[in-house]
Amino acid sequence: MAVHPGEVYYNPRCREKIVIRTPAAATGGHRAVMDLYVEPGGFAAGYHIHPYSEEVFTLVRGSLRVHLGGRDIVLDEVGQTVTVPAGTVHRWFGNTEDETSFAVVELVNRAERFEQLILRQLFGLAQDGKTDAEGRPSLLQHAVTMREFQDVLRFTDRPWALQKLMNGALAPLARLLGYQACNPDYMDRRPSENAALETLPDVVAARLDPATDRV
């Protein structure tokens, strides 16, 4: 099921909310634009890379710390931007104060696959309490899901060659026990709500495609 503008997706483990601004379906699957709201203490699920996708964060409100390629970049002014090139280890962290942070995120390349993995599968698992405290799937779930979506996201706590061996060895057992790489229950789960998109400051909106992303 495709995602649509204004749909809200929530990850309770990572304390993040995503509101769809431009879905992948509107760009032929190439690009998606999302409003990312991070509650105090929120974070991305583990250090990871997107092998073939570029990710761009532009701050609207609050602050966001992005660990990128071994260094921390703090976005704390409206319009500040950081670009994560494909294949670069990164992870983001929200404000530690009592303020929800808001950034616009652009995902370029394999955007539809990104929506399927992040918004459907990983967020669905987190909502059902089937991830660890960092929002990562269990070992057997990881074996099938991350093997299927290895072109979209790879966690970097272990060397990728080792992960491929582990996933390949565990996947048959996981499937035998009923684990699914792309669970249809999550693919068909309706978002919890729809929200009106916030009007973006000019300095932020100027970065986006005026035909599709301004409100």
Q: Give the structural domain span for 43.
A: 7-205
State yes or no: pLDDT of 208 exceeds 90.
no
Which tens digit of pLDDT belongs to each residue from 56-68? 999 999 999 999 9
Is 213 a domain residue? Answer: no
Provide the domain count of the chain. Answer: 1
Residue 86: name the closest of 101, 103, 69, 100 by CA: 69
Is 2 a domain residue? Answer: no
Which tens digit of pLDDT belongs to each residue from 22-63? 999 999 999 999 999 999 999 999 999 999 999 999 999 999
Both tokens assigned to 25: 């379906």
Is 115 a domain residue? Answer: yes
- CATH number of the domain that 160 lies in? 2.60.120.10
Which tens digit of pLDDT belongs to each residue from 127-147? 999 999 999 999 999 999 999
Is 194 a domain residue? Answer: yes
Is 92 a domain residue? Answer: yes
Query: Going by C-beta distance under 8 Å and a sequence separation of 6 or more, which residues neighbour residue 126?
Result: 11, 12, 13, 14, 45, 135
Work out the percent of the chain whose per-residue pLDDT is above 70: 97
Is 134 a domain residue? Answer: yes
- The answer to whether residues 10 and 192 touch, using CB atoms and an 8 Å cutoff, is yes
In single-letter form, the type of residue at position 188 comes to D
Is 212 a domain residue? Answer: no
pLDDT in the model for residue 192: 79
